[in-house]
Amino acid sequence: MLIKNIGLLAGIVPEGVLRKEGAEQGRVECLENAWLSFENGRITGFGPMESCPAPVNRSDTPEVINAYGALLMPGFCDSHTHIVYAGSRDGEFLDKINGLSYEEIAARGGGILNSSDLLHETPEKELYRQSMVRVKEMMAKGTVAMEIKSGYGLNPEDELKMLRVIRRIRESVPAAVRSTFLGAHAVGRGYTHEAYVQAVIDLIPEAARLADFVDVFCDEGFFTVEDTERILLAAKGLLRPKIHANELAVSGGVQVGVKHGALSVDHLERTTDAEIEALRGSGTMPTMLPGSSFFLGLPYGRAKDYIKAGLGVALASDYNPGSSPSGDMRFVMAQGCIKMRLTPQEAFNAVTLNSAYAMDLSREYGSITVGKRAGLILTTPGWDLTKLAYQYQTPFIRKVFFG
């Protein structure tokens, strides 16, 4: 496959660069008037149009796409979603409009427990069918790699049901899918807090056969730093952590995540300089979810301060029924610019390479690099990185490639 007359080929990264930090986050290498080729799902070459490869003979003729001067970029990488769920929580949306907070809705038995009840009643096949609608929506919007969490099962049987559904999604779509065991999302019905934490720990060996990562909602009213530490120790060597931290309070979740080698710590709506300090020199990617700040009216994360401190930042959608009912990564990128004052370049790296890193996929996705999977977005003509964020609702996709 050969794509020619690319007006702007954006997101070129040398092999081996797995994330962008500090000033590097603000740099996006581009080539104007370019071509790109791929074969068997992987990028095989790119360069300026003057060097565009000409077919040698008929059997050698590649399928050629004329980009007509448009933008070609890596597809979006969404490192934090909860898109396997049943039904909807639109009733709580009305409670929210009427002034109840996320915590108040949860305390009345709504929130995550409401989704857990719905999931329990929904057969596995039907759960898969409902979830696939969202997966396809995300893919149509340009997401080529995604992470999906369990966490609405909240008992061993239903957590495994969710993880099997995620595996089935992974087997049936061309997008890359990573799976996270988030048993510790809320205390399941019928358990004491202590008994539930133990049940999560007991489930880890079995969950590890289906999942890639482990996550804990380490926040006020949910799980403590001590609970988190116990769960991460039990998962050591089996599942690498990705932690929900500092959404509702300064929770200590960042520090415990860094201590246990978390791949990412996510949310971070509420952080002090101590969290930034804790992340310095670590392999942990701070990941912010502006969609949930938008939907819940929470503060936006201090992305700019993290970058100033020399760190990299990823942005993800958090697509879920309670705090971010959208998987639109282009809107996430725009919010990064509009609400967090990231430059379009910083936001672009946050939704591509850095988000791929946050799910351990940046060897395969997140940039234009020879050898990587051809997960790409070809736009209609007239787009550049600034316009993507600025004119944030105008349709821009001509075609998404999944290798």
Would the CA dihedral through 94, 152, 220, 77 be positive or negative?
Answer: negative
Return residues touching ligand NIG (CB under 6 A): 82, 111-112, 115, 217, 244, 247, 292, 318, 320-323
CB of 318 to ligand NIG, least distance (A): 5
CB of 276 to ligand NIG, least distance (A): 21
Helix (H, G, I), strand (E, B) or coil at 302: coil
Closer to ligand NIG by Cβ: residue 18 or 340: 340
* Interaction between residue 219 and Fe ion (CB under 5 A): no
Do the beta carbons of residue 321 and residue 47 sit within 8 Å? no
Instruction: Report how far residue 241's alpha carbon sits from residue 228's, in angstroms, rounded to the nearest whole number.
Output: 10
CB of 176 to ligand NIG, least distance (A): 21
Binding-site partner at residue 158 among Fe ion, ligand NIG, none, CB < 5 to 8 Å by type: none
Helix (H, G, I), strand (E, B) or coil at 128: helix
Give the interface segment with Fe ion, choosing from 53-61, 120-128, 168-176, 317-325 (CB under 5 A). 317-325
Closer to Fe ion by Cβ: residue 79 or 224: 79
Binding residue for Fe ion (CB under 5 A) from 318, 328, 346, 360? 318
Strand 176-184 relative to strand 143-149, pairing: parallel
CB of 338 to ligand NIG, least distance (A): 20
CB of 45 to ligand NIG, least distance (A): 40
Binding-site partner at residue 231 among Fe ion, ligand NIG, none, CB < 5 to 8 Å by type: none
Closer to Fe ion by Cβ: residue 161 or 244: 244
Neighbours of 91 (CB within 10 A): 12
Dihedral class, residue 103 (left if φ above 0, else alpha if ψ from -120 to 50, else beta): alpha
Closer to ligand NIG by Cβ: residue 152 or 348: 152
Q: Which of 93, 179, 84, 181 is nearest to 138 (CA)?
A: 84
Report residue 368: phi and psi, to 5°.
Answer: -90, 100
Closer to ligand NIG by Cβ: residue 8 or 207: 207
Instruction: Report how far residue 294's alpha carbon sits from residue 280's, in angstroms, rounded to the nearest whole number.
Output: 27
Ranked by CB distance to ligand NIG, the top (closest) residue is 322
Instruction: Report how far residue 86's alpha carbon sits from residue 112's, in angstroms, rounded to the nearest whole number.
Output: 11
Do the beta carbons of residue 35 and residue 47 sit within 8 Å? yes
User: Which DSSP state fits 380?
Assistant: P
Closer to ligand NIG by Cβ: residue 147 or 212: 147
CB of 112 to ligand NIG, least distance (A): 5
Binding-site partner at residue 321 among Fe ion, ligand NIG, none, CB < 5 to 8 Å by type: ligand NIG
CB of 118 to ligand NIG, least distance (A): 11
CB of 261 to ligand NIG, least distance (A): 21
Closer to ligand NIG by Cβ: residue 111 or 257: 111
CA triplet 172, 377, 77: central angle to 5 degrees?
60
Q: How far is CA 377 from the centre of its chain?
A: 17
Give the interface segment with Fe ion, choosing from 51-59, 151-159, 314-322, 387-395 (CB under 5 A). 314-322
Binding-site partner at residue 74 among Fe ion, ligand NIG, none, CB < 5 to 8 Å by type: none
Do the beta carbons of residue 5 and residue 331 sit within 8 Å? no
Closer to Fe ion by Cβ: residue 151 or 375: 151
Binding-site partner at residue 147 among Fe ion, ligand NIG, none, CB < 5 to 8 Å by type: none
Ranked by CB distance to Fe ion, the top (closest) residue is 318
Q: What count of Cα atoms within 13 Å lies in the side-chain half-sphere of residue 341?
A: 7
Instruction: Report how far residue 375's alpha carbon sits from residue 367's, in angstroms, rounded to the nearest whole number.
Output: 9
Q: What is the DSSP string of 67-82?
A: -TT-EEEEPEEE----
Q: Which residues are near Fe ion by CB under 5 A?
A: 318
